[in-house]
Structure 1
Amino acid sequence: MKHANYKANLSVLRQAPEQDLQNEFVLSGIIDKFAMQFELSWKLLRKTLEYEGRLDAATGSPRGIIKAAYDAYDFIGEGIWLRMLDDRNAAEHVYDAMLARRLADDIIGSYIATFDDLLANLERLYPAELLETF
């Protein structure tokens, strides 16, 4: 279930600020966890949009789902989600240590909070039993 996986992965990603950010292996792990969290996010949003009967949930693209979620939910900040999408796409090609550090700083500085906000709002809107089916 995407909701359970979302919560479990986010729990690990929340540990990022406590890690040795000078270690390239650690940075790589944080970036990988971020990429996984982003994947779980847009797929969870797709499930909620499908539940709501939104036809735009049928799109197969993360960008389309983000735009549909922005339209459907007042707690989705389109700008930050599109930045996260761009960073997720760029993360596959991060070979430079300074770029990796910048991405890790963004993950720690704002992206984890955005993932937390999504979780809190979905848990506010939908009963736990329903979320567990997503």
Structure 2
Amino acid sequence: MKKYENFCVSLENMKDIYNYEEPYDNVVLTGLVGLYEITFEQSWKMMKEILEIHGFAEGATSSPKMILRTAYKAGMIKDEELWLSALQERNNVTHSYNRKIAMGIITQTKQKFYKMFCELKEEIDRNWI
């Protein structure tokens, strides 16, 4: 599955986020936010494809929020609130020119979101492929 492969590559790239510490220059800051955004995008698109393959009609929608809710109901993800929080941060990426917003995305990625993505990969590998 191409979307699964894309997600795995983006997740592998995302672990580089731990190679950088504050203070971040603008290029590093932008790049770290970009790693988060790409991995989030690949994650929900992969979930959508897998849900469709497994017959979840809700997977046909293009709404990330609906995909996350369906993935939670299906047992693909365990913490719906965390994923909805990650969606909100993805929506904030368009405002990451604001250093405070960008720093919030990076901090949450290091503290919560990277682990969340790794748990998703483990779940997919174990139960969905």
The verdict on a shared fold, with TM-score over 0.5 as the criterion, is: yes
TM-score of the superposition, structure 1-length normalised? Answer: 0.88
Unaligned runs of 5+ in 2: none
Q: Partner residue of 2:4?
A: 3
Letter in 1 for 2:4: H
Report what 2:82 is aligned to.
80
Q: What is the CA-CA distance between 1:74 and the residue it aligns to?
A: 5.7
**1:1-134 mapped onto 2 (5 Å cutoff):** 1-22=2-23, 23-73=25-75, 75-127=77-129
User: Is the 2:95–2:101 Cα contact (8 Å) retained in structure 1?
Assistant: no
Question: Over aligned residue pairs, what C-alpha RMSD do you find?
Answer: 1.3
> Cα offset for 1:95?
2.0
Indicate conservation of the 8 Å contact 1:20/1:26, yes or no: no
Structure 1: which 5+ runs fail to align? 128-134
- What SS does structure 1 have at the residue aligned with 2:102? helix
Alpha-carbon spacing, 1:68–1:126, altered in 2? closer, same or farther (3 Å): closer
Contact 2:11 2:117 in 1 (8 A): yes
What count of residue pairs does the alignment treat as equivalent?
127
Q: Is the 8 A contact 2:92 2:101 kept in 1?
A: no
- The one-letter code sitting in structure 2 at the alignment partner of 1:115 is F
For the residue of structure 2 that corresponds to 1:76, the secondary structure is coil
Residue identity (%): 27
Runs of 4+ in 1 over 3 A off after TM superposition: none
Greater RCO structure (CA 8 Å; 6+ sep): 1
